[in-house]
Amino acid sequence: MSGWMRTALALIVVGGIVVVHLRRGRDLGAEYRRRRTAMLSAAADSPPLLTEAMILPLPPPVQRYLRVCGWLGKPLPRSVQVHFDATMFSRPGAAGMRGPAVQLDRFDLPRRLFFMQTRMSGLPVAVLHDYTGMQASMRVRVLSLFDVVRVQGDALARAETVTLLNDLCFFAPAWLADARMAWAPFDDHRCTVAFTQGPHRVTAELVFNDAGELVNFHADDRGALQKDGSLRRLRWSTPMRDYREFDGRRVATRGEAVYAYPEGDSAYGRFVLEGIHFDFAS
């Protein structure tokens, strides 16, 4: 945690502002639930089944990944909700902030929501990300009272486009056959995908193991949040492992989010998947 954040939290406690009167719209959990309801109620076409003909134009390692993980013959999921046991790190060497996290994606709209609850210096903290394809916002709120982080704008929307692509690759890879993808194959274990969503075009390198599983995702279009609120563009990676079957589909259940700083890699998040729901409806 930055020095100014510690000072702000100390002032809250010393000043006795510990009894919190929640007001409508001030609780990020309630805001997440309101946005989730609107997101899931948006109209959608019936999704097609993923067929061999649809995946033939894809690079060989992507075809193999879709086959071995059980996506062929199933409908493209309109939405995916994933529950994590998450641990976030404010800086290298800092104590982790652990708590439940949930992310909800709709790949047809597109829309992405991420909500996490944790504690910072003993105080309750909520985190809410909201991405709509054209816009994105991120808020970190302490005690349901005030935001210690509030970021939005084009740079964040571009970064969240990378995050949506990452979610798609690991949790709904049937969408890799979508027309928004453009491919450049490397070899039997690597390929590059360019994803266009609205004004944003982002690219990523996908890495597969000998079993055909996707085990890493590298991108250079995602910014790391800095102390001054800016986003510093760095290589971002998400090594994933420990595939398990959910509703007939094999999904990675453990992973990290890593930024490659010049002085060395820094993992700012670790995630253990606790559950996943395809076409989540409520």
pLDDT in tens, 237-256: 999 999 999 999 999 999 99
Is the per-residue pLDDT at 12 higher than 50? no
Please name each of the domains of the chain with its CATH number. 24-278 (2.50.20)
Per-residue pLDDT reduced to its tens digit, 101-138: 999 999 999 999 999 999 988 899 999 999 999 999 99
13-27, 40-54, 104-118, 240-254 — which is least confidently predicted? 13-27
Where is average pLDDT lowest: 64-68, 82-86, 139-143? 139-143
Whole-angstrom CA distances from 17 to 5, 13, 122, 139, 146 are 16, 6, 14, 21, 12
Return the pLDDT at 2: 41
* This prediction's pTM: 0.89
The rounded distance, in Å, linking the Cα atoms of 68 and 73 is: 12
- Distance in angstroms (rounded) separating the CA atoms of residues 85 and 52: 35
